[in-house]
């Protein structure tokens, strides 16, 4: 194991010991990580989770609420003062008042809920309180953890080889053209390094915006730099035809030094300060976008999910592991935007997700952790309806498509409702990977959030959801018994 990885793990162990000792002696605490690749619905999930716990909604699959044992939950000051607070109020207002989806997760944020509940009985009874710390962060950052075990040369070769995948040639062409003119053994030149980094970043942005809509190529911070924008730690790129020994005062030497700086200054602190402290993890996945883009996108998504799970520190926790080497003992994969399909296809969507993560699930369960899958909509934007097409009756969904969305020749203005037949997912999930569903044949317009009206007493209305309560039960239900 590299020295810096060992040091990161050692630092995590010290931090975990302090936290776990406090948890056992003073206050039970559960740390939940929320992540997913771009456009998977992380912010909406986190906002809905807070809303349903604070408002004590009717949640049939969430035992503490269904059994009447959930007394109240309230937002309290978070434990980490150096991490931005998750702006729940802003996101909730956007959903319910402006009927706009919250801005996407582009940095780490956190909140703490104090959940007061009645224990289920048995040898323990009476009231209890669980501190739930939720850490929301971009999934692209998680993929960076694989860099800790890679050299600059190995990463360069793997990244350049990735441009040969189907559908990437055109996106990579401008960057590869510049790459041909760079001499790794040439003189150290800041301007050349900046141009190479900008061209490489443009390639990563094209991957993100491309039809596959899944970017598995690190570094993740290149597209979400935050306060690191313009930093030398983000000013590097792969080089081709690297020599066996890289000389420090060359272009390759500069790139290698900054690659190592990125790992030391960006990746390791995230690993040490946040990621290693997670007890439970949910990974949100936009499976429908990948299905509609075709088998190549699904293969890319499968690889990304496998990379995510390889990065997780998973396994069954014991007292000693909780103190010295905490592990995530439950992982949930959630296929989001289930409200874009009729309920008759929800189980098919979950089956497809389970197929995509089957290899990773076996590895995780072998390590002693529990893995769950669910198809959900954190906030349901549609209702179910039927469409009559001649003698056929089609099971459809109805909602308000966003302005500019199209279905066929119709362009929506953001105010009119529409009923949309999205198409069918096949009964056999393997058929999607085999290309049975023709790319572009499904209809998934982006719908606006639903209208939320206050009740007769002017209390806030509840955010409708699909199977969010199932996810809540898997992730935290056992801690509220």
pTM strictly above 0.95: no
Helix then strand then coil, in percent of the chain rounded to 5, is: 45, 20, 40
Contact call for residues 362 and 406 (beta carbons, < 8 A): no
Mean pLDDT of 6-28: 53
Q: Tell me which of 1 and 216 has the higher pLDDT.
A: 216
pLDDT tens digits, one per residue of 210-254: 655 555 788 989 988 877 888 899 999 999 999 999 999 999 999
Q: What CA–CA distance (Å, rounded) separates 158 from 20?
A: 39
**What pLDDT was estimated at residue 310?**
73
Mean pLDDT of 37-50: 92
Q: What CA–CA distance (Å, rounded) separates 14 from 74?
A: 29
Assess whether pLDDT exceeds 70 at residue 318: no
Assess whether pLDDT exceeds 80 at residue 452: yes
Q: What CA–CA distance (Å, rounded) separates 357 from 333?
A: 8
Mean pLDDT of 271-282: 86
pLDDT tens digits, one per residue of 392-433: 999 999 999 999 999 888 999 999 999 999 988 999 999 998
- Highest mean pLDDT of the ranges 164-173, 375-384, 437-446: 375-384
Which ranges of 263-345 does DSSP label H, i.e. alpha helix? 268-273, 287-293, 295-311, 319-324
Write down how long the chain is.
481
Contact call for residues 281 and 330 (beta carbons, < 8 A): yes
Structural domains in the chain plus CATH codes: 3-137+274-380+467-480 (3.40.50.300), 151-266 (no CATH)
pLDDT above 90 covers what percent of the chain?
A: 60
Upstream peptide bond of 219 is cis (omega within 30 degrees of 0): yes
Upstream peptide bond of 398 is cis (omega within 30 degrees of 0): no
pLDDT tens digits, one per residue of 183-212: 999 999 999 999 999 999 999 999 888 655
Question: Tokens standing for 143?
Answer: 């993929």
Q: What angle do CA 335, 203, 297 make, to 5 degrees?
A: 30
DSSP 470: H
């Amino acid at each position: 194991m590299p020295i810096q990885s060992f040091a990161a793990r050692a630092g995590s162990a010290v931090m975990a010991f302090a936290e776990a000792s406090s948890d056992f002696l003073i206050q039970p605490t559960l740390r939940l990580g929320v992540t997913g690749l771009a456009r998977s619905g992380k912010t909406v999930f986190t906002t809905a989770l807070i809303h349903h716990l604070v408002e004590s909604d009717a949640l049939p699959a969430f035992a503490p609420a269904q059994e009447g044992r959930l007394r109240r939950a309230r937002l309290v000051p978070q434990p980490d003062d150096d991490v931005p607070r998750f702006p729940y109020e802003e996101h909730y207002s956007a959903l319910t008042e402006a009927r706009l989806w919250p801005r996407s997760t582009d940095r780490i944020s956190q909140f703490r809920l104090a959940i007061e509940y009645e224990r289920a009985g048995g040898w323990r009874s009476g009231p209890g309180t669980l501190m739930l710390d939720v850490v929301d962060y971009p999934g692209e950052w998680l993929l960076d953890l694989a860099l800790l075990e890679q050299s600059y040369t190995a990463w360069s070769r793997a990244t350049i080889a990735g441009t040969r995948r189907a559908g990437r040639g055109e996106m990579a062409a401008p960057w590869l053209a510049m790459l041909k003119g760079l001499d790794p053994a040439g003189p150290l030149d800041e301007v050349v390094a900046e141009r190479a980094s900008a061209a490489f970043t443009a390639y990563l942005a094209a991957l993100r915006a491309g039809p596959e809509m899944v970017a598995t190529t690190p570094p993740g911070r290149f597209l979400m730099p935050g306060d690191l924008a313009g930093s030398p730690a983000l000013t590097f790129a792969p080089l081709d035809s690297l020599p066996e020994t890289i000389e420090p005062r060359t272009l390759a030497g500069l790139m290698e030094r900054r690659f190592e700086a990125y790992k030391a200054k960006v990746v390791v602190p995230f690993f040490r300060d946040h990621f290693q402290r997670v007890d439970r993890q949910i990974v949100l996945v936009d499976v429908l976008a990948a299905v509609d883009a075709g088998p190549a996108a699904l293969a890319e998504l499968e690889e990304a999910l496998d990379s995510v799970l390889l990065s997780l520190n998973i396994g069954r926790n014991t007292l000693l592991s909780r103190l010295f080497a905490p592990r995530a003992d439950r992982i949930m994969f959630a296929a989001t935007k289930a409200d874009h399909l009729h309920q008759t296809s929800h189980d098919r969507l979950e089956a497809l997700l389970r197929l995509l993560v089957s290899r990773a699930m076996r590895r995780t369960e072998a390590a002693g952790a529990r893995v769950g899958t669910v198809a959900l909509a954190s906030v349901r934007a549609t209702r179910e309806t039927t469409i009559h097409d001649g003698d056929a009756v089609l099971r459809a969904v109805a909602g308000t498509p966003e302005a500019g969305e199209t279905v066929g020749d119709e362009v929506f203005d953001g105010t009119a409702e529409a009923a949309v037949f999205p198409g069918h997912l096949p009964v056999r999930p393997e058929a999607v990977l085999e290309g049975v569903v023709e790319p572009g044949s499904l209809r998934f317009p982006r719908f606006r959030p639903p209208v939320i009206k206050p009740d007769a007493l002017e209390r806030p209305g509840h955010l409708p959801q699909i199977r969010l309560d199932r996810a809540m039960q898997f992730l935290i239900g056992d801690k509220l018994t």
